[in-house]
Structure formats: C-alpha cells, structure tokens
Amino acid sequence: MTQFAADSGTSLYERMGERTTQPFALRVLDGLGAIANRSVIDIAAGTGGLAVAAAERGAFVTATDVSAAMVKRAAERLLPFQGSRAQIEDFRALTIPDAQFDISISIFGVLAFAAWRQGIAEMARVTRRGGQIALAMWTHGDDCSPAHVMRRAFRNTFPERELWPADLFPLFSENSLTASAREAGLVGVEVQVATAEWCPFSSADVVRECDPMFKGFPGYSALVTHETVAMHKALAEAFQSYADAHGIIRLPTKAFVVHGRKA
Ligand SMILES: C[S@@+](CC[C@H](N)C(=O)[O-])C[C@H]1O[C@@H](n2cnc3c(N)ncnc32)[C@H](O)[C@@H]1O
C-alpha cells in the first residue's frame, strides 16, 4: 500500500485539495484587509484551510460545510481559536438568521455547483449591510488547476467521454461573475484573475500522487485497467510539460477572485 493509496476522505482533501486552493484562500483574505475581531462565515469550507488562516488573522470564524466529516476536521483545527467553530450547513439553505456576519466567504465552494445562484443569495442574506463578500473559483481555462490538466489529458485520450458531470464546475467569465454578484445584491463588485503555482510533492511520482484525488471524478474512476494505463501515460506527459530545467513540475494555476459588499 502506498502512502497515496492509504490517504482517504478528509485527510486526502487536507493534504492534496488544500494544496491547490490555499494560495487562493490567502489571496482572498489579503483582499479583505484587516479582519481581526470581525465575524466571518466560510461556506463550503472543506477541511477549513481558509477558516484557520482567517482565525490566525484574528477573525471569529464559523466554518460550514454539508459534509459532517469535513466539519469535524475543520472544528478540530479551529479548536485553538476562541470564538471560532464549525457547523454543518447546506449552502442552498443556511439555517442562520439574516445579517449575522461581517464577512461571508466561499472559495471553490458555491461557485463549483449548479446551485451557485442560491449560494450567493444565501451568502448575501447572512451578511450585514455593508459587510464584505468574497468568492473564488477556477477560471476553467485549460490547465488552470491539476484537475483541469487531468481533464485535458482525459479528453485527448477519450474524446467521446466526460471526466466530470456537466453541472459540476459551471463556466464563468469575469463579466458573468460581476453580473451575477450584482444580481445577488452586492455592490462594489471586483473580479480579478489571481495566479499561483502548484507543485506536486514528487514531480517524478505525480500521477500516483494525484490518483486518489482524481478517483473522485466519475470518468476516471470508471476506467478499466488498460484504459487506466493509457490515461496515466497521457497524464504524465501533460504534467511533465510543466517541468522546469531541474525536472520540478510547476503548474501555473488560475482562479477568479470576487470581492463585493452587501448593499
Ligand atoms: C472543492 S471543496 C472546497 C473546500 C474549501 N473551500 C477549499 O477551498 O479548500 C468543495 C466543498 O463543498 C462542499 N459542499 C458540496 N455541496 C455543498 C452544499 N450543498 N452545501 C455546503 N457545502 C457543500 C463539499 O463537502 C466540499 O467540502
């Protein structure tokens, strides 16, 4: 059993998923300015990477997620921070009264799902007037994240198949995100494309490292043995095209970062 195969569930997400999302979490927090002593809700918080970073900056954070396992892990990580906690919430219908928070954030959360409009509306509802709202989501351009590198390699290898369901990861542009945020009642909306760099733990072993994460994609998990072999070859080539002179894979990642205020 490899260390990668031994990983599962929340520990896998914390180790691998957050490795792609956390640079953008920090970018989102930087864009909010000083957040000490302010109340923050993190929606679809996963294992709490952003929530912990916000608590470290002195905010009182409520991390929420629909997954009980994610919430359990986020709660454990928030224990050292008085005034911060985690609770189960579905972003489509939060059980939270109106105008409770100074700041609402969701990164790679509500914008990743078909119900994203409901999600933004709920974020606006639980934010006090004048409070800040921030979101992030992959730009979806080819290769904007390791998963998108995977999607390109998958499409090239199996042109007639889809790696993930069509309603996962809705497509956005800077203009459509600005319009949608304004429709949800946000003002002062700014959408930027932020960039970061993703390196695997081991460039030589990148396919084996990513395999457990990519198994979450239905198209990949459905492959039979000889198809998996072809896929791994294509994936290794796709990742290696980002290797520097020392053989280190350095993938430039890209996400929309949205900031606005509740009117
Ligand atoms: C890609 S992860 C993002 C986690 C974290 N925000 C990050 O950037 O690392 C997406 C998260 O959305 C959560 N999620 C999916 N559907 C949800 C829903 N309806 N309500 C709340 N959370 C949801 C999942 O459980 C998962 O933790």
Place of tokens 């986020």: 74
Which residues constitute the domain of residue 86? 3-262
Question: In whole angstroms, what is the distance from residue 11 CA to residue 16 CA?
Answer: 8
The rounded distance, in Å, linking the Cα atoms of 155 and 71 is 34
Pocket test for ligand 1, best of 20, 42, 64, 66 (most atoms within 8 A of CB): 66
Tell me the CATH number at 83.
3.40.50.150
| pLDDT at 217 > cutoff 80 | yes
Residues whose beta carbon lies within 6 Å of some atom of ligand 1: 17-18, 21, 44-46, 49, 65-67, 70, 90-92, 107-109, 112-113
pLDDT at 8: 54
Residue 1 confidence (pLDDT)? 28
Centre of ligand 1 to C-alpha 164, Å, is 16
Residue 23 has pLDDT above 90, yes or no: yes
**Measured distance CA(244)–CA(109) in Å, rounded:** 32
pLDDT tens digits, one per residue of 72-110: 999 999 999 999 999 999 999 999 999 999 999 999 999
Q: Is the pLDDT of residue 7 over 70?
A: no
Total structural domains within the chain = 1
Mean pLDDT lowest for which of 137-141, 168-172, 201-205? 168-172
What is the predicted pLDDT for the residue at 21?
Answer: 98
34-72, pLDDT tens digit by residue? 999 999 999 999 999 999 999 999 999 999 999 999 999
CA dist 70 and 39 (Å) reads 21
**Ligand 1 centroid distance, CA of 107 (Å):** 8
Which residue puts its alpha carbon closest to atom 16 of ligand 1?
Answer: 66
**DSSP secondary structure letters along 121-148:** HHHHHTEEEEEEEEEEEE--STTSSHHH
Q: What integer is the mean pLDDT of 129-135?
A: 98
Task: State the DSSP H helix or E strand holding residue 77, giving kind and residue range, or none if neither.
Answer: helix 68-78
**In testing the pocket of ligand 1, which one of 65, 90, 253, 258 has its CB within 8 Å of the most ligand atoms?**
65
